């Protein structure tokens, strides 16, 4: 490829990465400190690979570590490709590109670059931008016989199964002991972590170790039996496949062939399984190029198994570069954070290294009265005996928020505006502390809202909805009581105690049951949420709780449940999803309160950090830590004491992660960051203590707080320290701005709506024609008398007709294993045809008739029958959504007809159809919006071509009182039926969809080679190997081979081209 990997200079200094320099041929580790443009760099690298090195977008793999991040990254990548292409085009008119990637390409290869970028945008659906778990799942599924996928269900929450395994093992061992060696609650708590974890279990307590190993073994056994996988099983299984399986070499080679270019975002959050996959499949190979992008200083997900050791190993193995400029924060933040951290390690050999601060003026500035100049502030205090320091900090946070709102001004260029509530974020260590601060701010008259920052499926709203549904399904006393304690019912304890007969909660449950019976899911959800707003908005986190309840309610509305039990099952299925981000609780101006973990990746003008004094270490359950060999293990024994060496190890490693969390919190700020530090007995191991006590003891630090303003080891121009007992600027009470009293008037809708834009399909395009259809059958095509094999009655005579019957036939043919049709068809027909009212004889008749369909030779389509094709060569129900031309370039149905007329040869059986279509009223219909559809089946033939198949249960015309026979399905009569129903239009839409799909998915795709034609199978005329042949064509099998250039032309017309 001609790319070079520059090596770092001697001396250990890491070179700055240049987005316009040489791209690596091989592997590269990019360290991206906070705010240095990680996502911008990834999108720029992708644009260069596509434009400069002609990398098909389907061969580019971009991995990140959450669904929300993958969705954002996918959007950012698409927008970057659009903007780079547009800037290159504008450069031809003399406009200088602002994007350095666009400038590079515009100066060297503008026309080629634009062509390649536009092609990538056309094929963007084939881009793989995914979480590591989604990537692993897709590869396991798509590797065929090389893979390790047996259709297991992926469930995010297996806690109930762990509880069952741990409870059973505990009872098996200790049910006859008066004093078991393990305390039950701790054993079950530890098991929730130890059983699903793949970390090695360690303990000095042999009984505890034996117990948890047995629980893990039982948990694994039951999951195999129940065919359940957790999300963490996906990378584990792929890791085994690429490292220890007999086909490991083949799988690694196949993955490198599929994705020769790999970009990995947030690499610092990788766990050992994920790193092993990346290393073995891409990093260690000569036929793959991989760039890992991350920041070890932001590795804060140890509780999710993220292992900083993986990053450190990659740093030893790979060349390294760094992104050198912070574009998020003003210089005062960048330099203040560097000054605060100094040379303190936040991990093994990891320090906050200097980066440049962007000075392009785009960030603006924050103006304050009595401005100390520094943009990182520490508010410190030494706690007095018995003092509730948390209350002091809370009061000081509220005072600062009000002072900032009263006096702060944001200046950008020549404009200024007051600092608003939404410009301020308060970031905490725990959710509970966040809720406290929301309460305090609201009590002081400051609007504040809690941002959950997590998945709504992990919120209490799921439990509340589950309890209510359980009570509606089975209204027992205990279930009603449990439901009444949640947010949905909102029954007060006093009302429950005062109830004499039927409790208010019981009444509500009966009302919800009645609403479900009358209005289905929508009726129940609406009734359950009724009144929730008025109850919850008065609570500190009420908006957050209400938003979560509504969001889960909206997810329940996606169910087609006919019973409450079905709705319960739907809710349980929802909890199996790994990530559904919580919505913003309110879009009104308000101070944003969030956990620091939830704020990662976000930015705010002002950030307040009131909970960074103490390192939180949970020693009550299973304890993950890194042992002296560098291996991450899980302690499952008894809780270590204060003097236990393990406690010191765990606290030390936890403090490093807390230091990284402090770094994340501080670097969310654009203009000002304020952290509070309380010196008390708990703060000795805290992250901020480690920075403030670099040159003194904790006692000395407390003395400096009493001696305010004190002396600290920081440049006061970079880090400003002050006492939390001193008030901020004196100011009048902040009052929220009031809206001007203006008369109400109706808003004006100024948008221009395109009335032709629609989501349509073949059925939608041809609906007016079907409504007006009244053509008389061509009697010349109906034989007066059929003899011999042609006179064989249709095997479906006597069976129902109509849409429901057609649906059943489609479902059975899609689900059956054609090669095992004799044993599968009777079972499938019995299952799927239950609603047709068929008696056993008719069910047997339908199964036999469909057996004839799959064994009928397909003649012109390929040398064999459906039953001769393996299941792996069939893609049933290929759904598609194709964008049509925009309003300025949209074509019409007439353009499709003209393309057919131009490309169909004179001897084509459907050559008359274009003229018929042009003569209809729909010919003038504009093709704008989205075209959706579903192809019954796409078959890969032995010669590598792909065949479109559609099953038709239509009855062709017969003479009065004439029994339907297979001979009625001659090629001529089927062609007439095709044209009368406008099936040629449907077939060509399907061919265009297949053309686009193969263009995106099949390397080396050629329409002439790979488009294998169309087979419309009129199943009432197919009877198996004995299906008669008329003039060289099997009855019931309408084979059509439209020219490949016609399929391409139709695709072009649909996209707004001229065909």
Query: Omega before 709 cis (within 30°)?
Result: yes
Token duo for residue 712 = 């600290």
H or E stretch covering 985? helix 983-1001
The backbone region for 614, taken as left when phi is positive above 0, alpha when psi lies in -120 to 50, beta otherwise, is beta
Which of 507, 548, 508 is closest to 527 using CA atoms? 508
Count of CB atoms within 10 A of residue 776's CB? 6
Determine the Cα–Cα distance for residues 699 and 446; give it in Å rounded to an integer. Answer: 37
* Cβ atoms of 607 and 673 closer than 8 Å: yes
Does residue 800 contact residue 1010 with C-beta atoms inside 8 Å? Answer: no
Question: Would you call 1015 helix, strand, or coil by DSSP?
Answer: strand
CB neighbours of residue 1033 within 10 Å: 19
H/E stretch holding 161 reads helix 159-174
The two three-digit tokens of residue 40, written as one number: 């911008």
C-alpha 100, offset from chain centre: 30
Alpha helices in 773-839, H assignment, sequence order: 803-815, 821-832
- How far apart are alpha carbons 256 and 251 in whole angstroms? 9
Catalytic site includes residue 273 = no
- Strand ordering across the sheet containing 604-609: 448-451, 591-595, 424-428, 604-609, 669-679, 376-382, 719-723
Give the active site residue among 578, 908, 950, 1052: 950
**Beta strands in 851-989, from DSSP E residues, in sequence order:** 874-883, 891-892, 926-927, 929-940, 946-952
d(CA 718, CA 721): 10
Binding-site members for ATP are: 32-39
DSSP string for residues in 650-690: HHHHHHHHHHHHHHHHHTTEEEEEEEEEEESTTGGG-HHHH
Exposed e or buried b per residue across 224-240, where buried means at least 16 C-beta atoms within 10 angstroms of its C-beta: eeeebbbbbbbbbbbbe
DSSP 417-474: EE--GGGEEEEESSHHHHHHHHHHHHHTT--EEEE--SBGGGSHHHHHHHHHHHHHHS
Overall size of the chain counted in residues? 1059
Residue set of the binding site for Mg(2+): 810, 936, 950
Closest CA to 1042 of 864, 896, 905: 905
- What does the block give as tokens for 720? 């400003």
Q: Per-residue DSSP letters for 698-739?
A: HHHHHHHHHTTT---SS-TTTEEEEETTS--S--PPP-PPPP
Determine contact, residues 446/591, Cβ cutoff 8 Å.
Answer: yes
Beta partners for residue 640, in sequence order: none
Kindly report the CA angle at 670 between 713 and 353, in degrees rounded to 5? 50
Q: Say how many CA atoms lie within 13 Å of 1031 toward its Cβ.
A: 7
Contacts (Cβ under 8 Å, ≥6 apart) of 250: 146
Residue found under tokens 């081979």: 1041
Distances (CA, A) of 651 to 610, 615, 623: 21, 8, 11
**Long-range contacts (CB closer than 8 Å, 24 or more residues apart) made by 216-224:** 218/165, 218/168, 218/169, 219/158, 219/161, 219/162, 219/165, 219/195, 222/161, 222/164, 222/165, 223/158, 223/161
Residue set of the binding site: 32-39, 810, 936, 950
CA atoms of 325 and 17, how far apart (whole Å) = 10
Q: Catalytic site residues?
A: 950
């Amino acid at each position: 490829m001609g790319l070079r990997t520059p090596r770092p200079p001697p001396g250990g200094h890491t070179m700055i990465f240049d987005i316009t320099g040489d791209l690596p041929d091989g592997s590269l580790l990019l360290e991206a400190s906070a705010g240095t443009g990680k996502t911008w760099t990834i999108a720029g690298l992708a644009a260069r690979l596509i434009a400069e090195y002609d990398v098909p977008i389907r061969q580019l793999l971009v991995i990140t570590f959450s669904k929300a991040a993958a969705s954002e990254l996918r959007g950012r990548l698409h927008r970057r490709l659009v903007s780079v292409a547009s800037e290159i085009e504008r450069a031809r008119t003399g406009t200088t590109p602002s994007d350095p990637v666009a400038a590079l390409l515009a100066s060297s290869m503008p026309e080629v670059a634009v062509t390649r970028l536009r092609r990538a945008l056309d094929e963007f659906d084939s881009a793989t931008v995914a979480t590591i778990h989604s990537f692993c799942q897709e590869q396991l599924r798509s590797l065929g016989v090389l893979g390790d996928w047996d259709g297991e269900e992926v469930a995010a929450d297996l806690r109930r199964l762990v509880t069952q395994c741990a409870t059973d093992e505990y009872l098996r061992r200790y049910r006859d002991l008066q004093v078991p060696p393990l305390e039950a609650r701790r054993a079950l708590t530890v098991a929730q972590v130890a059983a699903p974890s793949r970390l090695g279990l360690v303990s000095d307590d042999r009984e505890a170790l034996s117990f948890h190993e047995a629980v893990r073994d039982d948990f694994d056994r039951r999951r195999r039996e129940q065919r359940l996988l957790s999300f963490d099983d996906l990378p584990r299984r792929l890791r085994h496949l690429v490292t220890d399986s007999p086909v490991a070499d083949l799988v690694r080679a196949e993955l490198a062939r599929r994705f020769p270019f790999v970009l990995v975002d947030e690499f610092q959050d990788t766990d050992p399984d994920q790193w092993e996959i990346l290393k073995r499949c891409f990093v260690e190979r000569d036929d793959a190029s991989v760039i890992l992008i991350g920041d070890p200083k932001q590795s804060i997900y140890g509780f999710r198994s993220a292992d900083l050791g993986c990053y450190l190993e990659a740093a030893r193995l790979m060349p390294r570069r760094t992104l050198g400029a912070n574009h998020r924060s003003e210089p005062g933040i960048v330099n203040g954070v560097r000054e605060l951290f100094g040379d303190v390690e936040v991990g093994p050999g990891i320090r906050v290294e200097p980066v440049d601060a962007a000075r392009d003026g785009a960030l603006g500035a924050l103006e304050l009265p009595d401005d100390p100049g520094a943009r990182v502030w520490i508010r410190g205090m030494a706690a007095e005996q018995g003092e509730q320091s948390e209350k002091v900090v809370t009061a000081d946070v509220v005072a600062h928020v009000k002072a900032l709102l009263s006096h702060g001004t944001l200046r950008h260029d020549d404009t200024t505006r007051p600092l608003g509530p939404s410009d301020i974020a308060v970031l905490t260590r725990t959710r509970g502390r966040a809720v406290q601060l929301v309460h305090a701010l609201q009590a002081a008259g400051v609007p504040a809202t809690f941002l959950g920052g997590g998945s709504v499926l992990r919120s209490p709203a799921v439990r509340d909805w589950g309890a209510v549904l359980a009570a509606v399904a089975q209204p027992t006393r205990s279930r009603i009581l449990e439901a009444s304690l949640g947010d949905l019912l909102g029954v007060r304890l006093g009302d429950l105690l005062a109830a004499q007969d039927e409790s208010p909660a019981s009444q509500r449950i009966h009302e919800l049951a009645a609403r479900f019976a009358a209005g289905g899911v929508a009726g129940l959800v609406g009734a359950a949420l009724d009144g929730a707003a008025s109850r919850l908005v008065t609570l500190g986190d009420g908006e957050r709780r209400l938003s979560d309840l509504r969001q889960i309610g909206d997810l329940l509305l996606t169910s087609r449940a006919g019973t409450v039990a079905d709705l319960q099952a739907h809710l349980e299925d929802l909890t199996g999803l790994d990530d559904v981000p919580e919505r913003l609780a309110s879009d009104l101006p308000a101070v944003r309160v969030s956990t620091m973990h939830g704020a990662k990746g976000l930015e705010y003008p002002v950030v307040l950090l009131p909970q960074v004094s103490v390192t939180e270490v949970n020693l009550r359950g299973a304890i993950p830590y890194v042992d002296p060999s560098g291996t991450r293990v899980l302690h499952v024994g008894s809780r270590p004491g204060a003097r236990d060496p393990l406690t010191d190890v765990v606290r030390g490693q936890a403090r490093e992660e807390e230091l990284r969390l402090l770094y994340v919190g501080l670097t969310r700020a654009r203009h000002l960051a304020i952290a509070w530090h309380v010196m008390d007995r708990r703060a000795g191991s805290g992250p901020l203590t480690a920075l403030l006590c670099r040159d003194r003891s904790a006692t000395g630090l407390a003395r400096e707080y009493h001696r305010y303003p004190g002396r600290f080891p920081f440049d006061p121009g970079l880090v400003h320290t002050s006492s939390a007992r001193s008030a901020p600027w004196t100011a009048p009470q902040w009052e929220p701005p009031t809206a001007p009293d203006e008369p109400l008037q109706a808003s004006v809708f100024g948008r221009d709506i395109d009335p032709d834009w629609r989501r349509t399909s073949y059925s939608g395009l041809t609906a007016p024609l079907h409504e007006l259809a009244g053509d008389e059958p061509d009697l010349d095509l109906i034989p007066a008398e059929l003899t011999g094999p042609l006179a064989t009655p249709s095997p479906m005579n006597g069976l129902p007709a109509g849409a429901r019957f057609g649906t059943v036939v489609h479902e059975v043919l899609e689900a059956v294993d054609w090669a095992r049709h004799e044993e599968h068809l009777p079972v499938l027909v019995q299952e799927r045809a239950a609603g047709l009212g068929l008696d056993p004889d008719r069910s047997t008749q339908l199964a036999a008739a469909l057996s004839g369909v799959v064994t009928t030779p397909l003649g012109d389509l390929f040398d064999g029958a459906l039953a001769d094709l393996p299941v792996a060569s069939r893609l049933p129900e290929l759904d598609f959504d194709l964008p049509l031309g925009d309003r300025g370039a949209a074509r019409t149905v007439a353009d499709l007809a003209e393309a057919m007329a131009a490309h169909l040869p004179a001897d084509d059986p459907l050559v008359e159809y274009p003229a018929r279509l042009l003569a209809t009223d729909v010919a003038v219909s504009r093709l704008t919006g989205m075209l959706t559809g579903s192809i019954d089946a796409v078959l890969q033939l032995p010669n590598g071509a792909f065949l479109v198949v559609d099953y038709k249960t239509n009855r062709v015309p017969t003479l009065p009182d004439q029994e339907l026979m297979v001979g009625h399905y001659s090629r001529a009569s089927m062609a007439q039926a095709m044209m009368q129903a406008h099936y040629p239009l449907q077939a060509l839409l399907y061919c265009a969809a297949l053309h686009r799909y193969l263009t995106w998915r099949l390397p080396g795709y050629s329409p002439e080679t790979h488009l294998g034609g169309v087979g419309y199978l009129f199943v009432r005329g197919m009877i198996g190997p004995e299906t008669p042949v008329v003039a060289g064509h099997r009855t019931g099998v309408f084979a059509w081979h439209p020219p490949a250039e016609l399929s391409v032309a139709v695709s072009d017309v649909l996209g707004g081209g001229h065909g």
